[in-house]
Structure 1
Amino acid sequence: MEIKGAVMIQLSLVCAFSAVCLVTCFDQDKSINVKDKWEQFLRVHNKNYDYSEKNRRYKIFQNNLRTIDQHNWRYRKGIESFEMGIGPFADQTEREFKLMFEKQSAPSKTTLENNGICKLSVNRTKYPPYYVDYRSIMQPIKDQKPHLCGAGWAFAAVATVEGMTMKKLKWDKSLSEQSLLDCAVGHGYQSYGCNGGSLWGAMFYMKTYGAETSEDYPYEAAEKCCRSRSKPLVRVETIFNCQGTEQELMRTVASHGPVATMIEVTPYIMHYKKGIVFDRNCVNGANHAVTIVGYGMENGFQYWLLKNSWGRMWGERGYYKLARNYANICQIGKTAFCVDINC
């Protein structure tokens, strides 16, 4: 019995040691895995930090990775409606993300009327199709570099004009956001370069002076002196106020084309990868702008298809889906504009 007891004790010690070893090895493997992801993140997003800042950013990255893992566990359980992944903001804090997006005020009805911007009339009797997707006529996803420049207003306005240019004229050309940052500035446009701007102001500038190509006037993610306006490719002919209910917005997108809208973004979508966003944290007002390029249904939920300007490494290759018919969630459609264009 004593021999048997000694053997049992030895076996228990071996099992305990093995368990500790397994846990330790697992933690080491996990640590190595995080470091590999960190180094890959730095390479993919071309991030360069000095030694102390790199260590600080690595700790933030680790915290964000835990957030992503915990969220995705809930996503697999059906608790969350979208999946997260490692994207361009994985080395930033939520506070840093919030500071990139300042609240934007909506233009008054008088301001719009004084600049000839009228409500778009849509056919209310004809029911729109269940599914619309304009991604095939849109230019490739661009990156405004939001940590450097709050130019979402310019990118959303330009994307709308680009889409309509392709839809109407079949011209496959990238247009310039930088020209709006440099030239469509001041109270007359309600736009202030990298410090935010208005969709209608950007469109009004392209109506007055036309839109130049990105090739002639490339993006620099900073405000510069206004350059030549001698080479506009297209000109906005009419600007429409597309504000309305989500049903009205749905009809506008289906019958007319892409629509630029102000929207509210929160840290909840920092690491968005795919799925439909139901962001209940949207309570402070619009602070960003995107382009509505379609709508549809996925897994029984209705969504808006939105073109963003945070690069192809964020979201669904730069796009994301926001819940539709959910009380204008995140301010969608409350300040919205579309255009007609000509040569």
Structure 2
Amino acid sequence: MAFIALALFTLAAAHSGTCPATKKCGEGAEAGLPCCQVDSTKFECCSSSEACIPKVGCRCLDLEAEAPLYEGYDFAAFCEEFSRAYGTEEFERRRSIFQTNLKKIKAHNTEFQAGLHTWYMAVNDFADWSQEEFKGIRATQTPPPLQAVHTVQFGAAKANPETMDWRTKGVVTPVKNQGT
């Protein structure tokens, strides 16, 4: 599912300290505005056209953005849009997964329209995939196991010899068939 961030730039001024327990700013023109903790030493007071992004700060919202609500959009429309064709049994399984994912998208986008989120979701070509299938194509978050590091000790540098006959060192193989 696509996530489209709508953060553009900040208008808020940073203040020293931490947000009050009420999560509302309490002084002057900023009194009552939502408080956004940027880091352990500063916070910002977000205006009505901004949203708090924790550990980032207040960011302007694209108030003109309209999240798709997918009214009337169904699995048949999805299959046509994303060129899907399934056998009967697979069709039913994929439709069930799609319907579950579409419910999540619709619920989130309704909350976005109500100002509860700063981004909206959209149907994409993974909308008929289960969480397990989607996780299977992503790289794991587990780092590779640690391996012992071998150190190489170099001796003191020596001058290169004037000539070197590698044949006498036993590292040259006999001549092979060169097409004669």
Superposition TM-score, scaled by structure 2 size: 0.37
1 or 2, which has the higher helix percentage? 1
Larger radius of gyration: 2
Superposition TM-score, scaled by structure 1 size: 0.21
